């Protein structure tokens, strides 16, 4: 399969885009098939990717009548930062796969739309350059490195560059592309690299003794453990969030350990295939950490209606993974900013029709399990 982009990113918003999810429908025109398979895919049989989407379709939103929402807004405070809306850009590695300027364009869009941005350790652009362009809520997503000195250096660079929090991802110690993505033959191109790791020696494959497991003694040898998290909490002055939490016991433990907030996430289905949908796990995590503790959600959010459901089930805000990449591929910063604007308007329209003037009005009582005949998954509208 050819790995060259069918069409370069546009310098304008294409006509006919009417909802945020239309960017997903347009992506195949702008992303070569093997790259698209790598981005869209999860792991294994993509069971968790599918579950993430199904979980949103399992809920309906109650329309409410005669509510005065003329003072309505979507403002919130997150990590001490005032935000105009609860839509953040998720950490997505190697954005140069879909746009020559990669993460720089996403950062410009975040700045323009007042959206928070979480930059991946595996960004294809320098974290300092991205920080200079992003808006006030910019956080750094950390993958523990095999050598602690390298992890510390990354954290200190993030602090010096003005990132406001460290979001450590703990659910992806093993990542194997789904069977569909492997069949598409994706190979990381030589010109797309994790530039922020270039200065650090990378671990060479561990020599296994006879009888050792390639998984337990191999792939998992450098996976983070509890003492790594405790070390991180003491090594940075920044608040530490953990991304990749699904089990309520983990959530309770992380809160007790001093973690500032959690991202309820299954890595967009790219970690453990068969893990529950993020949305399905959210209510139990909220119950475990209690009200008021910061919780974000990602995984399958494709519309403002989806964001509303996540907020209703206990999230303070949502992160956008693949939608961000698709919009970036279609029209760079302009596309990402437009996608965010559409999503925000979709959220506002859902709030208004559900009788919610502010995010504080959104709660579990706004939802009903989807009734027979209720609308299923929203189809892209172009």
**Spatial separation of the C-alpha atoms in residues 31 and 324, rounded to whole Å:** 13
Which one among 44, 91, 276, 335 touches ligand FMN, defined by CB under 6 A?
91
267 is an active site residue = yes
Place of tokens 């190697």: 94
Q: Identify which range of 14-22, 89-97, 198-206, 369-377 contacts ligand FMN by CB under 6 A.
A: 89-97
Residue 46: CB minimum distance to ligand FMN, A: 11
Per the residue annotation, which of 85, 99, 260, 267 is the catalytic one? 267
- Residue 44 vs 299, nearer CB to ligand FMN: 299
Using CB under 6 A as the binding rule, whether residue 366 contacts ligand FMN is answered as no
Region of 332 please: left (phi>0), alpha (psi -120 to 50) or beta: left
Which one among 99, 108, 138, 243 touches ligand FMN, defined by CB under 6 A?
243
**Could you give the C-alpha distances from 102 to 83, 112, 181, 325, in angstroms and in order?**
24, 16, 21, 9
**Spatial separation of the C-alpha atoms in residues 104 and 100, rounded to whole Å:** 9
Region of 79 please: left (phi>0), alpha (psi -120 to 50) or beta: left
Residue 91: CB minimum distance to ligand FMN, A: 4
Which one among 55, 90, 315, 317 touches ligand FMN, defined by CB under 6 A?
90
Q: Are 351 and 311 in contact (CB under 8 A)?
A: no
By rule CB under 6 A, what count of residues binds ligand FMN?
A: 22
Beta strands 295-297 and 367-369, pairing class: unpaired
Which one among 37, 101, 320, 359 touches ligand FMN, defined by CB under 6 A?
320
Which one among 265, 343, 344, 348 touches ligand FMN, defined by CB under 6 A?
265
Which one among 301, 311, 329, 367 touches ligand FMN, defined by CB under 6 A?
301
Taking CB under 6 A as the rule, which mask of x and - marks residues 137-166 in contact with ligand FMN? ----x-------------------------
DSSP letter string over 209-275?
PTT--IIIIIITTT---HHHHHHHHHH-SS-EEEEEE--HHHHHHHHHHT--EEEE--GGGTSSTTP
Which one among 44, 79, 294, 300 touches ligand FMN, defined by CB under 6 A?
300
Which one among 46, 103, 298, 348 touches ligand FMN, defined by CB under 6 A?
298
Q: Is 198 exposed, middle or buried (0-12, 13-18, 19+ CB in 10 A)?
A: exposed
Q: How many residues does the chain have?
A: 382
Using CB under 6 A as the binding rule, whether residue 39 contacts ligand FMN is answered as yes
Question: Which 114-133 positions form the footprint of ligand FMN (CB under 6 A)?
Answer: 120, 122
Which one among 268, 304, 314, 332 touches ligand FMN, defined by CB under 6 A?
268
The crossing angle, in degrees rounded to 10, of helices 47-57 and 304-312 is 80
**Could you give the C-alpha distances from 232 to 95, 127, 156, 158, 225, in angstroms and in order?**
27, 19, 11, 13, 11
Q: Please name the residues in contact with 379: beta carbons below 8 A apart, sequence gap of 6 or more.
A: none
Q: What b/e readout covers 19-51, taking b as 16+ CB neighbours within 10 angstroms?
A: bbbbbbbbbeebbbebbbbbbbbbbbebbbbeb
Question: Which 199-218 positions form the footprint of ligand FMN (CB under 6 A)?
Answer: none
Using CB under 6 A as the binding rule, whether residue 31 contacts ligand FMN is answered as no
Using CB under 6 A as the binding rule, whether residue 58 contacts ligand FMN is answered as no
Residue closest to ligand FMN, measured at CB: 321
- Residue 138 vs 322, nearer CB to ligand FMN: 322
Name the residues annotated as catalytic: 267
Tell me which residues touch ligand FMN (CB under 6 A). 39, 52, 90-93, 120, 122, 141, 169, 243, 265, 267-268, 270, 298-301, 320-322
């Amino acid at each position: 399969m050819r790995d060259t982009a069918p069409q370069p990113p546009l310098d304008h918003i294409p006509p006919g885009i009417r909802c945020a999810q239309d960017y997903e429908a347009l992506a195949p025109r702008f992303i070569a098939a093997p790259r698209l398979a790598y981005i869209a895919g999860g792991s294994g049989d993509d069971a968790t990717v599918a579950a993430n989407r199904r979980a949103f379709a399992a809920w309906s939103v109650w329309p409410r009548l005669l509510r005065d929402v003329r003072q309505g807004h979507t403002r919130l405070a997150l990590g001490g930062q005032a935000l105009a809306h609860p839509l953040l850009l998720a950490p997505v590695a190697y954005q140069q796969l879909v746009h020559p300027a990669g993460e720089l364009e996403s950062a410009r869009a975040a700045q323009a739309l007042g959206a928070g941005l979480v930059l991946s350790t595996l960004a294809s652009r320098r974290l300092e350059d991205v920080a200079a362009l992003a808006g006030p809520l910019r956080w750094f997503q950390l993958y523990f490195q095999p050598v602690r000195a390298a992890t510390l250096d990354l954290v200190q660079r993030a602090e010096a560059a003005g990132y406001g929090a460290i979001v450590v991802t703990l659910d992806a110690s093993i990542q194997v592309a789904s069977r569909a993505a492997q069949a598409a033959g994706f190979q990381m191109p030589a010109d797309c690299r994790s530039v922020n790791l270039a200065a650090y020696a990378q671990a060479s494959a561990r020599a296994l003794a006879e009888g050792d497991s390639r998984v337990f003694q191999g792939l998992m040898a450098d996976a983070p453990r509890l003492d790594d998290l405790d070390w991180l909490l003491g090594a940075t002055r920044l608040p530490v969030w953990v991304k990749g939490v699904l089990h309520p016991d983990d959530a309770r433990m992380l809160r007790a350990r001093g973690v500032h907030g959690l991202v309820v996430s299954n890595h967009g289905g790219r970690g453990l295939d068969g893990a529950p949908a993020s949305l399905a796990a959210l209510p139990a995590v909220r119950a475990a950490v209690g009200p008021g503790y910061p919780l974000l959600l990602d995984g399958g959010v494709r519309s403002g209606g989806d964001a509303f459901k996540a907020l209703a089930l206990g999230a303070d805000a949502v992160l956008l993974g693949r939608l961000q990449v698709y919009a970036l591929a279609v029209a760079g910063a302009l596309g990402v900013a437009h996608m965010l604007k559409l999503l925000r308007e979709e959220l506002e329209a859902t709030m208004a029709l559900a009788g919610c003037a502010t995010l504080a009005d959104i709660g579990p009582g706004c939802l009903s399990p989807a009734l027979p005949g209720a609308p299923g998954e929203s189809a892209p509208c172009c």
